[in-house]
Structure 1
C-alpha cells in the first residue's frame, strides 16, 4: 500500500493555479436525463489547474495522463501515463489534489510507479500503450490499447500497488488486430476506458468501432463502439453493449485538415448510469470535450454478434444525453482523457478531469474540478 508520508519533500512541487474564464461556483444541472428525474446530476465548477509540459518528477517527464482514479484509503489519486515506454518506463503517478468547496488550489506529483510486464520487467519501448486505470478490490486494473500496426492485442491487466503483474483478463473474440484489417481493433482506437460498477462488474470501452463494426466518426456520421462487461475476479465476460459515438462536432479550419472524435473514458455513477467523455480535435480550431450520461438499461447484449455492420438482429444501443460541453461552459479544454469521482479533504464530493498533453510543448497537463451537488447512486 502506498504510504504518502514516506515521500521526500524534494519530490513535491506545487504549481500556480491558472485563471479560467468560468467563475468558481458556476453550476451545471441536468435534472431529468432521458426523462428520468431519478438520474439527475448537478455539478458546480471548482476551477482549473495546469502543469506545463516538460516538468519532470524523479528524472522522468510527467505527461500523457490518460486515466485517473481516487483511492479512498489514502485520500490520494493515481494517474496513468500513456507514454509507450519511450520517455520513461510505462508508469502511473500518485497525486495529491488540493481541492475543496472553495476551489481547486493545486496538484502535487508525489511519485511514480513502474508497471511491469509478465516477466517482472519494465515494458520495452513501444511494447505497451497504457490508457486507463482503476483501483479494484484485488489490485490496480489498467488497460493498454495494444498496437494494431504491429499486431499487439489490447489488454486489461491487474497489478499490485508496486506495479507487479498479477493477471490479465481474457480478450473476447473479434478484438485482436488482424493483418488484413477485416476484424479487430483500429490502431490507437481500442481500450481507452474502464470503470467499475458499484455492484463490482468492470466495464471496458473502445474509443471507436472495431473494423467489422463499421467506420469511425466523421463530420456527418457517428460510430459504434463496443463496451465489454466483465466479472473482474474471474475474467468472465458478462455482456457487450453498443455505445453510439457522436459525429465530429467541428471541422478543421482549412480544407484537408485533420480532425477526430472518440470516447476517452467512462465513469459509473450507479449500476446502469455512466458518464462518458467524448473528446476530439480539429486542426486550426482546437479541442472539443463533452461529458455524456448513458444508460445500460434496455441495451442489447451484442457479445454474440460478430459484426454490428452485418447482422439481421435488431440492436438497441445504450441511450445517452449530454451533461456538459466544456467549451460551451466557457473554459478552454485540452485533450481530456481521464475522469473520476473523489473526496476533498473538507469532505466535498468532487469530480476530477485530467488532460493528456501528448508530451507536446503547446499543450498542458490540465486538471478540472467540479463539486458534485447530486447524482444518481
Structure 2
C-alpha cells in the first residue's frame, strides 16, 4: 500500500508556483526535476484560451474533430488533422494561423484544406479511415489512422506529401491487427492516437490503451499497458516497442449509469528519448481531465519480442513518466484535448499549443490553450 502511494506521489512534482491560478495570463507551473533529473526541468507559463465559434464552417462542413496538430517551421503556421471518417467531407488536414505571442493567445484562423489520398490516389471512402494524429517529418507529413476493430481494419502510419498524395507506409508489427475473437490486436477506438517525430527523424506511434493480449483498459483502480512503437524514420521498419503505463481513471462518473475512461491521446518528442504525453480522461456528468506527463524512454525494455504482456514472466521496465501539468488542478476546464504542438510565436516565444477534438458535437468546443515554454530540456 505504501509502495503504491509513493509511486503515485512521484508523478506530482510541481513547484510552489503551481498554486497560482493559471487562468491568469503569465501564471507559471514548473517541474524542476522530473524523474529526479534536474537537466530535464520544464516550466510552462499560461498564455490563454481561444474557442472557435460553434457555427464555424470549413469548406461547407462544420469545423471539428481536431485530433492532431503540428508546427511548420518554414511558414510559422500549423497543420491540423480532422478525425472525420470521410463522412462530413473527405479525410483531410488543413493549415492554421495561431495568433499567439508572449503577451497571450488571441485567435486561430483556418486556411487551406488538403485532402488525404489513399494508395491509389483517391480520397478515402466514407468510414474507410480514421485520422487521429499528424507530424512533420523529413520526407513528408506523417499521419496515423486508428483503424476499425469492428471491421477488422488495421491501424497504420503513413507519409503523405504536402498536397495529400500518398508517399509510403510504415510497417505494422505483428500483434496489432484486430482479430474477430478479440484474442489479440487493437481495441476499437483505442489504437493509434499519439504520434511523435524525433529530431533524428525516428518516429513513435502510441496506442491509447492496451492491446487485447496485453491486459485490460484503465479502470478507477488500475491503469493500462499501452505499447509505443519505435520506427526507423528512414526505412519505416519497427526498431522496438516500449510499455507506456497509462494512469488509472481519475474521476468517477457523476451521471447515474454513466461511463468513464482514460487514455494516451497525444505525444510529442523533445529529443530522441524524452517526450511529452497527453492523457485525456472523460467521466459522464463531470467532463474531461487532461494531464501532461514527461516520459523518458531511456532504459525502458524493448517488448517487441513479447507476444503478451499479461502472460509474460519476463522482467519489464516500462517508460518512466513524471507529471508536469494537470489542467484541472490549475483552474482550467479542458474539453477533449487530443492535439499538441510545440512551435514558435511570431515574436520568437517558444510555445506549447493544446487543442480539443469537439467530436462534431454541439455540446463540445474547438478549444485551444497556449503556454509559453520558459524552460525545457532542449
TM-score range, shorter chain: over 0.9
Q: CA deviation at 1:54?
A: 3.5
Partner of 1:38: 39
Partner of 1:225: 226
Partner of 2:240: 239
1:149 match: secondary structure: helix
Distance (whole Å) between structure 1 residues aligned to residue 96 and residue 264 of structure 2: 24
Query: 1:150 aligned to 2:151?
Result: yes
Q: How many residues align?
A: 358
Q: CA deviation at 1:60?
A: 2.6
Counterpart mapping for 1:102-251 below 5 A: 102-251=103-252
Q: CA deviation at 1:197?
A: 1.4
Partner of 2:74: 73
TM-superposition CA deviations, 1:37-65 (whole Å, max 9, x none)? 00000010000000133311221321000
2:203/2:231 contact within 8 Å kept: yes
Query: 1:279 aligned to 2:313?
Result: no
Partner of 2:262: 261
1:364 match: secondary structure: coil
Partner of 1:339: 340
1:25/1:44 contact within 8 Å kept: yes
Q: CA deviation at 1:222?
A: 0.1
Q: CA deviation at 1:233?
A: 2.0
1:38 match: secondary structure: helix
2:151 match: secondary structure: coil
2:39 match: secondary structure: helix
2:35 match: secondary structure: helix
Q: CA deviation at 1:280?
A: 1.2
Counterpart mapping for 1:76-115 below 5 A: 76-115=77-116
Distance (whole Å) between structure 2 residues aligned to residue 58 and residue 248 of structure 1: 37
Counterpart mapping for 1:345-356 below 5 A: 345-356=346-357
TM-superposition CA deviations, 1:166-186 (whole Å, max 9, x none)? 111111000000000000000
Partner of 2:304: 303
Unpaired stretches in structure 1, ≥5 consecutive residues: 1-19
Distance (whole Å) between structure 1 residues aligned to residue 22 and residue 350 of structure 2: 23
2:290/2:334 contact within 8 Å kept: yes
Distance (whole Å) between structure 2 residues aligned to residue 54 and residue 115 of structure 1: 24
1:329 match: secondary structure: coil
**CA-based RMSD:** 1.0
Partner of 1:5: none
Q: CA deviation at 1:312?
A: 1.5
Unpaired stretches in structure 2, ≥5 consecutive residues: 1-20
Q: CA deviation at 1:254?
A: 3.4
Q: CA deviation at 1:272?
A: 1.4
1:141/1:159 contact within 8 Å kept: yes
Distance (whole Å) between structure 2 residues aligned to residue 136 and residue 230 of structure 1: 12
Distance (whole Å) between structure 2 residues aligned to residue 54 and residue 193 of structure 1: 28
Distance (whole Å) between structure 1 residues aligned to residue 59 and residue 341 of structure 2: 26
Q: CA deviation at 1:256?
A: 2.4
Higher mean C-alpha deviation, range 153-162 or range 193-202? 193-202
Distance (whole Å) between structure 2 residues aligned to residue 77 and residue 161 of structure 1: 13
Distance (whole Å) between structure 1 residues aligned to residue 59 and residue 284 of structure 2: 34
1:350 match: secondary structure: strand
Distance (whole Å) between structure 2 residues aligned to residue 363 and residue 65 of structure 1: 12
1:61/1:88 contact within 8 Å kept: no
Partner of 1:325: 326
Distance (whole Å) between structure 2 residues aligned to residue 280 and residue 125 of structure 1: 28
2:52 match: secondary structure: strand
Q: CA deviation at 1:255?
A: 4.2
Q: CA deviation at 1:232?
A: 1.6
Distance (whole Å) between structure 1 residues aligned to residue 142 and residue 42 of structure 2: 27
Partner of 2:26: 25
TM-score by structure 2 length? 0.93
1:53/1:357 contact within 8 Å kept: no
TM-superposition CA deviations, 1:146-193 (whole Å, max 9, x none)? 000000000001001010011111110000000000000000000111
Distance (whole Å) between structure 1 residues aligned to residue 206 and residue 43 of structure 2: 25
Distance (whole Å) between structure 1 residues aligned to residue 364 and residue 327 of structure 2: 17
TM-score by structure 1 length? 0.94
